[in-house]
Amino acid sequence: MHDAPIINLGGFNLDLSAVLMLFVSGTLVFLLCILATRRLSVENPGKLQNFMEWVVEFVQGIIGSTMDLKKGKPYVSLGLTLILFIFISNLLGLPMGFITEAHKPEMIFGHVIEATKDLANGEHAELLWWKSPTADVSVTAGLALIVFFLMNYLGLKNNRKHYLKHYVEPFPLLLPLNLIENLAKPVALAIRLYANIFAGEVLITVILKLGLVGIPFMAAWQGFSVFVGALQAYIFTILTMVYIGQMTIHEEGESH
Amino acid sequence: MVIHWENIVITIIAFALLYWLLNKFAFGKLFAVMEKRRELVRGQLEEAKQTREQATVYVEEQKEALKQARQDAFEIIEQAKQSSSKQALDLLDQAKADATRMKEEAIRDIESERTKAVDALRGEIGAFSVNIASKLIEREVENNPADQEKLVDQYLKEVGSRS
């Protein structure tokens, strides 16, 4: 099992790997979007612009399938950021991992890395620096928490009466169950994304141990991982929109 | 699987920052341009529709004009035909009239010539007759010119009624 390169900044455990990968992922998404929207043209769109417009329309399709597109318009930006960020994050771990082996307490930026603090003679720790940020359950939990807060906040703000009523329906005895249902949503979101991507990376590590024999397996698995990465990004985004739609929009005649 | 709350916080901050940056620098422009493009396409479709309608109207007009032109041409040809046949008839009538007139003139001429000739002949014959008669009966009528005149006239009447 690989350890995360965590340093302790006065009680705040800073995961350098997570920071690095989030930064890389965010930068890539940002650069992609800036490049795609740098030379916008109304009459003669470039390839990147066409690609971005396709993504936007894809996200609009997702939102349109879960709620009224007019009401869902403000969430297009959110969906776009989510799907691009998660997809690129999922892909980052595929081409390579970057692992260092530490045999003694290592220092970085003047702080000791937590996992190597207690290393004595003969012991060693493997520090995983480069990975998919979404292969870290804390990161996916962060994303899921954003969605969780957002959907409950939007539910309370736009649809307060039905949002609150929903917890005691069909009868008040089910309140705990409804609360659990609500809480289970972000947990499921986080675990699903984390498990898919983490499992993919574990399998890549395993196939690497096969040596040359593993090349065809690796090719197949890499391809499948790209597919899984896209699929998980899509699932995360569409579930986010489904939850927001459920919480914020009360459809007449619907029995919540 | 260890959850570090620090990572959750970092993730939330990173994602919020990315969302804010993208919204500020990329998506706003992109959405605006997409909306414009949609408008452009809609406008072009509208324009194409209008152009097509105009073209249809124009074609109808052209058809109408062509039909009109054909009818005009037909009428002109008909007119030409009619006028030409009329002209031919006129010419024929004219020719007939001319011919009749010329025939009549000729008849008249012949008649007058004949009258003239008859008159001249009558005169000459009278003179000759007088000559002949005077020579033949010179002696008998020499002394009676009144009988002579009477005789001649009688003779001339006979000649004139015979001719």
Predicted confidence (pLDDT) per residue in A17-41, tens digit: 888 888 888 889 888 888 888 877 7
In this prediction, residue B125 carries a pLDDT of 81
**Taking CB atoms and an 8 Å limit, are A141 and B11 in contact across chains?**
yes
Higher confidence at residue A205 or residue B93? B93
In this prediction, residue A219 carries a pLDDT of 87
Contacts 24+ apart (CB under 8 A), A183-188: A185/A144, A185/A147, A185/A148, A185/A151, A185/A239, A185/A243, A186/A141, A186/A144, A186/A145, A186/A147, A186/A148, A187/A144
Predicted confidence (pLDDT) per residue in A56-84, tens digit: 889 888 888 888 777 778 888 888 898 99
Interface test with B, best of A80, A140, A193 (most B CBs within 10 A): A80
In this prediction, residue A121 carries a pLDDT of 66
The DSSP call for residue A2 is: P
Predicted confidence (pLDDT) per residue in A148-187, tens digit: 998 888 888 887 888 888 778 777 888 888 888 888 988 9
B43: left (phi over 0), alpha (psi -120 to 50) or beta: alpha
Predicted interface score ipTM higher than 0.95 = no
Interface of A with B in 190-229 (CB under 8 A): 194
In this prediction, residue A170 carries a pLDDT of 77
Residue A256: is its pLDDT beyond 50?
no
B99 falls in which pLDDT band (50, 70, 90)?
Answer: very high
Residue A1: is its pLDDT beyond 80?
no
CB A149 within 8 A of CB B9: no
Tokens of A40: 């916008």
Residue B143: is its pLDDT beyond 70?
no
**Taking CB atoms and an 8 Å limit, are B30 and A37 in contact across chains?**
yes
Least confident of A47-56, A103-112, A190-199: A103-112
A88 part of contact set with chain B, CB < 8 Å: no
Rg (CA), chain B: 62
Question: CB contacts < 8 Å between A and B, how many?
Answer: 116
- Over range B138-162, report the average pLDDT: 74
In this prediction, residue B78 carries a pLDDT of 94
A255 falls in which pLDDT band (50, 70, 90)?
Answer: very low
Interface test with A, best of B7, B30, B34 (most A CBs within 10 A): B7
Q: Which helix (H) or strand (E) holds A177?
A: helix A175-209
Higher confidence at residue A238 or residue A121? A238
A125-130 and A98-102 beta bridge pairing: antiparallel
Of B10, B17, B29, the CB nearest to A37: B29
Interface test with B, best of A6, A92, A139 (most B CBs within 10 A): A139
Mind spelling out the 3-state secondary structure of chain B? Answer: CCCCHHHHHHHHHHHHHHHHHHHHHHHHHHHHHHHHHHHHHHHHHHHHHHHHHHHHHHHHHHHHHHHHHHHHHHHHHHHHHHHHHHHHHHHHHHHHHHHHHHHHHHHHHHHHHHHHHHHHHHHHHHHHHHHHHHHHCHHHHCCCHHHHHHHHHHHHHHHHHHC
**Taking CB atoms and an 8 Å limit, are B34 and A53 in contact across chains?**
yes
**Taking CB atoms and an 8 Å limit, are A33 and B26 in contact across chains?**
yes
